[in-house]
């Protein structure tokens, strides 16, 4: 017998009011859910792009252990029916998500095509180039002086790294990164600048796909040693990828490679400003502490806040009857503040050990492919910042409003050079 739905939870984590709050305010609601109703039935995300059925909603998964469980059971909780907390037009989903929104066996085949470029060995090969680039960014920062940290520091290294790997010409990098921002900030009125969410998504997608296809075309004519060349030459089941598939790869790499690492850099800089004792510990022994510090940066920032799965059959989780077809949304930021797993989770601790955060996902087949690349960039940029601008202070960040990536639009900084 089909069970009737529970009432919508009184603590709503789908409303614009919830997402418009600062992360520490959102955490108050998430803590109530974690402690009292870890699997709660929620109203559909407010302001969704598509109309929702009367009884629509989603299950909010807020505990660390449940996020890991859902991530590791792709047979029961699939990605192929969408990965966002709200419904997006299918044409956009297909063109934007590439293998992120697919399931095995297609997911494994597509992921394999690019995963070789992200292995620790390959990342180690470009580590020196990333360090060089971080040095140049801080050279420029020292010339510029007090400025917007996001524009002058945080944005630059992730953008350089992913587009260098793709082989994107220099002059196209900023427009591509800007379009990637539009792909994750459709709820933010400033970013939308008068457009409807679906219009902003559509425009950003059009720009990014166009740029990706242009590079693909150039690589077909003149192959090079880069990711886009790999993609135009790759075959799945004996067939070359279509233009649409190549464009979707480029969109996914652009979005995943830019916004996540940028926001982690901004958020970590703010945390190092707000917790000077932790900065001192890191500065006193950078090489000995940066490994654990990076994990804490990612836990603290939790730049990817949510990902959705869809139940492929009726399942029970914490006494809740989840029906086949129900949406199940993992709240990574909540899992990363779960005191069942983290001692004193609200304290920023650069030596935190162990630190089994779910910032890169809860494990399973979709675990972040760029995690080593992100860690390498974080090490390189903080090596430069903490040694060469040791007293840099971050001001108040202006957050992007949204239910997907926790973005920092701008954040003033003062260098305090002596
Ligand atoms: C601090 C930075 C980053 C964070 C916090 C982060 C977080 C995540 C998360 C939460 C997922 C989904 C995991 C899951 O569903 O289990 C993911 C997937 C992914 N990430 Fe990252 N990411 C970061 C940096 C990067 C970078 C630099 C790249 C490089 C392009 C990247 C590429 C990807 C790709 C391609 C996927 C999809 C994997 C799949 O579906 O198989 N990420 N990331």
How does pLDDT run along the chain (418 residues), one tens digit per residue?
Answer: 556 789 999 999 998 889 989 999 999 999 999 999 999 999 998 876 776 776 789 999 999 999 999 999 999 999 999 999 988 777 777 777 789 999 999 999 999 988 888 988 889 889 999 999 999 999 999 999 999 999 999 999 999 999 999 999 999 999 999 999 888 888 788 888 888 888 888 899 999 999 999 999 999 999 998 999 999 998 888 888 899 889 999 999 999 999 999 999 999 999 999 999 999 999 999 999 999 999 999 999 999 999 999 999 999 998 899 999 999 999 999 999 999 999 999 999 999 999 999 999 999 999 999 999 999 999 999 999 999 999 999 999 999 888 899 999 999 999 999 7
Find the 103 Cα to ligand 1 centroid distance in Å.
Answer: 16
The predicted pLDDT at position 49 comes to: 72
The total number of structural domains that make up the chain: 1
Token digits for 221?
A: 């004519």
Q: Is 12 exposed, middle or buried (0-12, 13-18, 19+ CB in 10 A)?
A: middle
- The radius of gyration computed from the CA coordinates of the chain, to the nearest angstrom, equals 21
* Lookup: tokens for 86: 């709200």
The residue range of the domain holding 178 is 16-414
Determine the distance from the C-alpha atom of residue 178 to the mean position of all C-alpha atoms in its chain, rounded to a whole number.
15
Question: Is residue 11 a part of any domain in this protein?
Answer: no
Residue 226 burial (CB count, 10 A):
17
Q: Which atom of ligand 1 is nearest to the CA of 107?
A: 41
At residue 5, the pLDDT reads 83
Q: How far apart are CA 27 and CA 34, in angstroms?
A: 10
Contact 394, 414 (CB under 8 A): no
pLDDT at 402: 86
* Residue 288 domain flag: yes
CB 43 within 8 A of CB 15: yes
Q: 187 CA distance to ligand 1 centroid (A)? A: 21
Closest CA to 379 of 259, 268, 226: 268
CATH number at residue 186: 1.10.630.10
Atom of ligand 1 nearest to the CA of 102: 40
Alpha-helical segments (H) within 167-196:
173-184, 189-192
User: What token pair was written down for 217?
Assistant: 């075309």
Residue 92's pLDDT is: 79
Give residue 311 CA to ligand 1 midpoint distance, Å.
22
Whether 373 lines ligand 1, by a CB cut-off of 6 Å, is: yes
CA proximity to 210, closest of 244, 255, 256, 169:
244
Query: How many Å apart are CA 254 and CA 206, to the nearest integer?
Result: 13
Q: Of 360, 375, 405, 407, which is best to mutate to test ligand 1, by the most ligand atoms within 8 angstroms of its C-beta? A: 360
Span from the CA of 6 to the centroid of ligand 1 (angstroms): 33
What pLDDT is recorded for position 1?
A: 53
Question: What is the position in ligand 1's atom list of the atom closest to the CA of 161?
Answer: 27
Q: What is the enclosing helix (H) or strand (E) of 207?
A: helix 197-221
Whether the CB of 161 sits within 6 Å of ligand 1: no
Instruction: Give the mutation target among 366, 370, 381, 404 for probing the ligand 1 site: most ligand atoms within 8 A of CB.
Output: 370
Which residue matches tokens 């790997």?
165
Give 256 Cα–ligand 1 centroid separation in angstroms.
Answer: 6
Atom index in ligand 1 nearest the CA of residue 162 equals: 30
DSSP designation for 288: H
Rounded Cα distance, 111 and 102, in Å: 10
Residue nearest to atom 27 of ligand 1 (CA): 257
54 contacts: CB under 8 Å, gap ≥ 6: none
Is 366's C-beta closer than 6 angstroms to any atom of ligand 1? yes
Question: In angstroms, rounded to a whole number, what is the distance separating the alpha carbons of residues 138 and 108?
Answer: 39
6 within a domain of the structure (yes/no): no
* pLDDT, position 281: 98
């Amino acid at each position: 017998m089909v069970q009737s739905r529970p009432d919508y939870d009184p603590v709503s984590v789908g409303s614009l009011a919830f997402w418009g709050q600062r992360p520490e305010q959102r955490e108050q609601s998430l803590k109530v859910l974690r402690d009292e109703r870890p699997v709660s039935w929620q109203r559909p995300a407010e302001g969704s792009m598509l109309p929702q059925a009367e009884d629509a909603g989603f299950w909010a998964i807020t505990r660390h252990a449940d996020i890991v469980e859902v991530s590791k059971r792709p047979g029961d909780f699939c990605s192929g029916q969408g990965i966002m907390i709200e419904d997006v037009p299918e044409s956009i989903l297909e063109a934007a998500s590439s293998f992120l929104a697919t399931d095995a066996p297609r997911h494994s085949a597509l992921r394999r095509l690019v995963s070789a470029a992200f292995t620790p060995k390959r990342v180690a090969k470009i580590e020196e180039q990333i360090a060089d680039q971080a040095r140049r960014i801080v050279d420029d920062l020292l010339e510029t002086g007090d400025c917007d940290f996001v524009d002058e520091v945080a944005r630059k290294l992730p953008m350089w790294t992913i587009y260098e790997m793709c082989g994107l010409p220099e002059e196209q990098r900023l427009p591509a990164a800007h379009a990637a921002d539009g792909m994750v900030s459709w709820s933010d009125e400033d970013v939308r600048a008068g457009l409807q969410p679906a219009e902003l998504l559509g425009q950003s997608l059009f720009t990014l796909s166009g740029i990706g296809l242009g590079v693909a075309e150039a690589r077909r004519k003149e192959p090079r040693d880069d990711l886009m060349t790999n993609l135009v030459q790759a075959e799945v089941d004996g067939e070359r990828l279509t233009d649409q598939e190549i464009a979707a790869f480029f969109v996914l790499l652009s979005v995943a490679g830019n916004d996540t690492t940028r926001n982690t850099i901004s958020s970590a800089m703010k945390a190092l400003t707000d917790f000077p004792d932790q900065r001192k510990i890191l500065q006193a022994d950078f090489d000995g502490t940066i490994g654990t510090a990076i994990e804490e940066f990612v836990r603290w920032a939790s730049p990817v806040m949510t990902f959705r799965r869809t139940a492929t059959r009726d399942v029970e989780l914490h006494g809740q009857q989840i029906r086949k077809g129900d949406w199940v949304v993992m709240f990574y930021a909540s899992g990363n503040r779960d005191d069942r797993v983290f001692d004193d989770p609200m304290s920023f601790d650069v030596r935190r050990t162990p630190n089994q955060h779910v910032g890169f996902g809860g494990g399973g087949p979709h675990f972040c492919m760029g995690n080593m690349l992100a860690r390498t960039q974080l090490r390189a940029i903080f090596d430069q910042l903490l040694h060469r601008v040791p007293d840099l202070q971050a001001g108040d960040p202006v957050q992007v409003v949204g239910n997907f990536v926790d973005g920092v639009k701008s954040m003033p900084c003062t260098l305090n050079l002596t």
